[in-house]
Amino acid sequence: MTAIRVSLHQNGSIRQGDVALIDAWRADSEDKLWVDIQQPEREILEPLLEERFGFHELAAEDSLSLNTLPKYDAFPNYDFFIFRAVDVNLHVHGAQTYKLAAFLGRNFLFTVHREAMAAIDNICNRLPQDARLLMNGPDFLLYSIVDQMVDAHFPLLERIEEFVDDLQEQIFKDAHASQLDEVLHLKRDINILRRQSLPQRELLNQISRGDAQFIQKQHLIYFRDVYDHMFRISETIDVERDMMSGTMEAYLSAVANRTNEIMKVLTIFSAIMLPLTLIAGVYGMNFANEPELHWHFGYWYALGLMAVTAIFMLFWFRRRGWIGHRDAPPRPRI
């Protein structure tokens, strides 16, 4: 069900309440209004946004739809933004990203989102203690929210990095088909993350250059700071993308190595057995005149011949470096 939280900065103090509190705010005053709408429903939102506040139907539509990418649209009396946040508890593959739509005017901010968002809850709870957040203007409030949303990428990216490191290590120890599955899924997650972070980075760049009309000049430097973080995030995503390619190569190489190792050992084994079988075959021939067959120790001689042959071949294979745990050659250090 749609949940609406209203915060109002009036005469130097903060009041929080439900949708009824909006009536206490006047559009032409210096009072600052923040309306946060969670789980928006069309029947409730349309009368409020389009009819009462006169937001454009397309912007209202975008704040309801699911997949819109980060963007900025300027309207005569307000700026409209779409941002995207990530869920730091990303434990299922897929696009665990959330959308935040924001309508920013001279003295009001509307935020619309489907899921509960940590950044919003956090700011909402801090507001009564820290009136400065809203007193500085709704654009500073928007900065505070977006800043937290953007910074939430860092723990996620660190966990992906650790996970990839673990995966690579594991692959080097023991490659397994399920890892390939994991790699392909992770690659896709990172690609989706990347394609969402690029327009968000561009959007923040645009804002920090001063394109948005209701963001005050003295707050641009704050959005510039968020942009720098977002830039670093998209760089990290690119590094992780390169790491995934490396992991893929490592996997394929490890699988090939292991299978080849098995084939090699078994082929060597066969190659040792064959001459022994030949010796047995030679002394199983039925020639009337085959001297060894009549030697007293002929049988032991044949067994000895087999042993000598086997030992000689083992020795030769080891010398060529095909069997035995060869130590890695000493490597130059960088």
In this structure, are strands 71-75 and 97-104 parallel, antiparallel, or unpaired? unpaired
Residue 290 engages a second copy in binding (rule: CB under 8 A): yes
Q: Which of 206, 298, 309, 314 binds a second copy (CB under 8 A)?
A: 298
The interface region with a second copy, picked from 34-42, 64-72, 114-122, 124-132 by CB under 8 A, is 64-72
Degrees (nearest 5) of the Cα angle 4, 7, 12? 170
* Dihedral sign from CA coordinates of 212, 216, 219, 221: positive
Question: Which residue reads 């893929």 in tokens?
Answer: 248
Residue 238 engages a second copy in binding (rule: CB under 8 A): yes
What are the Cα distances from residue 42, in Å, to 38, 50, 75?
Answer: 12, 11, 21
Residue 296 engages a second copy in binding (rule: CB under 8 A): yes
In this structure, are strands 97-104 and 78-86 parallel, antiparallel, or unpaired? antiparallel
Helices (H) and strands (E) in the chain — how many of each?
9, 7
Alpha-carbon torsion, ordered 26, 28, 32, 38, to 10 deg:
60
What φ, ψ does residue 9 adopt, rounded to 5°? -100, 110
Contact 99, 113 (CB under 8 A): yes
Q: Cα–Cα distance between 192 and 156 in angstroms, integer?
A: 14
Residue 176 engages a second copy in binding (rule: CB under 8 A): yes
Length of the chain: 334
Q: Which of 18, 115, 121, 235 binds a second copy (CB under 8 A)?
A: 235
Residue 297 engages a second copy in binding (rule: CB under 8 A): yes
Residue 68 engages a second copy in binding (rule: CB under 8 A): yes
Nearer to a second copy (CB atom), residue 116 or residue 269 = 269
Q: Which one, of 280, 151, 140, lies nearest residue 223 by Cα? A: 140
Residue 24 engages a second copy in binding (rule: CB under 8 A): no
E strand segments, 92-220? 97-104, 108-113
CB of 55 to a second copy, least distance (A): 12
Q: CB-side exposure of 170: number of CA atoms within 13 Å?
A: 14
Contact 19, 6 (CB under 8 A): yes
Residue 55 engages a second copy in binding (rule: CB under 8 A): no
Residue 66 engages a second copy in binding (rule: CB under 8 A): no
The interface region with a second copy, picked from 17-25, 27-35, 38-46, 283-291 by CB under 8 A, is 283-291
Q: Which of 3, 24, 184, 307 binds a second copy (CB under 8 A)?
A: 184
Residue 302 engages a second copy in binding (rule: CB under 8 A): yes
3-state secondary structure (DSSP) of residue 326:
coil
Q: Which of 106, 225, 305, 309 binds a second copy (CB under 8 A)?
A: 225
CB of 212 to a second copy, least distance (A): 16
Q: Which of residues 188-207 bind a second copy (CB under 8 A)?
A: 188, 191-192, 195, 199
Q: Which of residues 83-122 bind a second copy (CB under 8 A)?
A: 90-91
Q: Which of 17, 115, 172, 318 binds a second copy (CB under 8 A)?
A: 172
Residue 282 engages a second copy in binding (rule: CB under 8 A): yes
Residue 181 engages a second copy in binding (rule: CB under 8 A): yes
DSSP secondary structure code for residue 7 in this structure: E
3-state secondary structure (DSSP) of residue 101:
strand
CB of 8 to a second copy, least distance (A): 27
3-state secondary structure (DSSP) of residue 310:
helix
Nearer to a second copy (CB atom), residue 23 or residue 327 = 327
Q: Which of 274, 307, 308, 311 binds a second copy (CB under 8 A)?
A: 274
Residue 308 engages a second copy in binding (rule: CB under 8 A): no
3-state secondary structure (DSSP) of residue 234:
helix
CB of 269 to a second copy, least distance (A): 5
Residue 130 engages a second copy in binding (rule: CB under 8 A): no
Q: Which of residues 142-171 bind a second copy (CB under 8 A)?
A: 159-160, 163, 166-168, 170
